[in-house]
Amino acid sequence: MSELVQNNKSEERIFVYDVIRFVAIAAVIMIHCSGPFVAYFYPHDIKFITGNIFDSISRIGVPLFLMLSGVFMLDENKSLPYKKLAYKIGKLFVLLIFWSAVYAIIFHQKALIYYFFYGHVHLWYLYVIIGLYLVTPILRLFVKSENKNILYYFVILALIFQFLPNFISFCCHRTDYVSKFFDMFKVYSVCGYVAYYILGRLIVIDFDRIIKYKNLIFGLGVMALIASFAGTEFYTTKAVQAYKVFYGNENILTLIYSISSFVLLTNIIKNTEHKFSDSVKRAITSVSKLSFGIYLIHIGLISCLQNNILKNIFSITTKNTNAFLYIVITYLITFVLSYLIVFIMSKTRYIKQLVKI
């Protein structure tokens, strides 16, 4: 995912971004471990509340990856030859085809063709990254330090025409009217995940000014997180799956929470990096390097663990167990096994190409 993008081997690794990538992959795994408790239980049930807490906190996963991709791919100080970009896009297509086929064969035999083309639960992200890479040469023309005011303007437009309408239309129960109004402007160029992509680079470009408002940014991030949790809790009913809105990456609350997390993590790690021991740094960097492979396989491990081992062997399900323990245990097992499997694959000739770009 930011190799999702990763640094080139020839480049010195930046520990700040390794930590953010570590947090991002940890959050993504948590989303998929806690999600069932939100999707299959109703509000006010302790299982739903527990799942909602973990899931709400983890919603920064994908946005952090998107912003990290922008940090590296839109760096005006480093060249990005078309051949190199074309290779990355081609490799992603190959991996998308391979892993779509693997997941379709294992989990979707009855709808093999559909899931081969549209991918398993998590593979949608590869389509997004390919799309962002395709428009990267265009974005690099204006994503520069001297154009930071234009970049802020771009983000504001995205806020107005994408992130706010989704939130307002749901909260006001006027989905058709609000969406139709904003859609009339046809400002599609600022929609999608491009805003996150640009934001990653913009934060780097203007970090010294942005960090002056760290207390405000922190406060907004906390409020956005609380609002996301509360909105999911109080708007969800048997008929309305509010989490699909409040958890969405294109929701204003997720945007604010993610920006806050990226900025504050960057600031904290920059100021405390010297306090990390070498062993901790190596562990974090190792997970960061393997994050792409971990992302690819973790869903399969969660499904195997929950549906085969826990359910069929130990008769443990989401319905008959403590939600907190279930989430924590499946999370830790999935995280560790995903890392170990990808680590072994990364050391194996030919096979390592299946878990890296």
- What is the domain partition of the chain in residue ranges? 15-354
Q: Mean pLDDT across the stretch 99-114?
A: 95
Cis peptide, bond prior to residue 62, ω within 30 of zero: no
Tens-place pLDDT, residues 235-278: 998 778 899 899 999 999 999 999 999 999 999 999 999 999 99
At residue 8 the predicted structure's pLDDT band, cuts being 50, 70 and 90, is very low
- Per-residue exposure over 119-135, b if at least 16 CB sit within 10 Å of its own CB, e if not: bbebbebbebbeebbee
Residue 127's contacts (CB-CB under 8 Å, 6 or more residues apart) are 96, 119
SS3 186: coil
Closest-CA residue to 295 (of 57, 128, 148) = 128
User: Which pLDDT score is estimated for 268?
Assistant: 97
Residue 9 pLDDT:
47
Distance CA 51, CA 31 (A): 9
The model carries a pTM of: 0.94
- Cα dihedral value 178, 154, 58, 262, nearest 10: -150
Top-confidence residue, 221 or 171:
221
Maximal CA-CA distance, the chain: 60
Structure token pair of residue 36: 């069932």
43 with 53: CB under 8 angstroms? no
Q: Is the dihedral of CA 42, 44, 46, 50 positive or negative?
A: positive
pLDDT of residue 52: 97
Best CA proximity match to 132, nearest among 182, 62, 79: 62
Average pLDDT of the chain to the nearest whole number: 93
Report the C-alpha gap between 276 and 28 in whole angstroms. 24
Model pLDDT for residues 70-82, shown as the tens digit of each residue: 999 999 999 999 9
* Tens digits of residue pLDDT in 182-235: 888 988 888 889 999 999 999 999 999 999 999 999 999 999 999 999 999 999
Inter-axis angle of helices 124-139 and 194-205, to 10 degrees?
Answer: 60
Does residue 174 carry a pLDDT above 70? Answer: no
Q: How far is CA 50 from CA 131, 222, 258, 277, in A?
A: 35, 18, 21, 33
Q: Supply the pLDDT for residue 6.
A: 45
DSSP string for 241-269: -THHHHT-TTSHHHHHHHHHHHHHHHHHH
CA-to-CA dists, residue 274 to 12, 15, 58, 125, 278, angstroms: 17, 11, 27, 34, 10
pLDDT in tens, 272-319: 999 999 999 999 999 999 999 999 999 999 999 999 999 999 899 999
Q: Measured in whole angstroms, how far is the alpha carbon of residue 164 from the centre of its chain?
A: 20
Q: What is the pLDDT of residue 181?
A: 86
95 close to 357: Cβ distance less than 8 angstroms: yes
Query: pLDDT band for position 170 (50/70/90)?
Result: confident
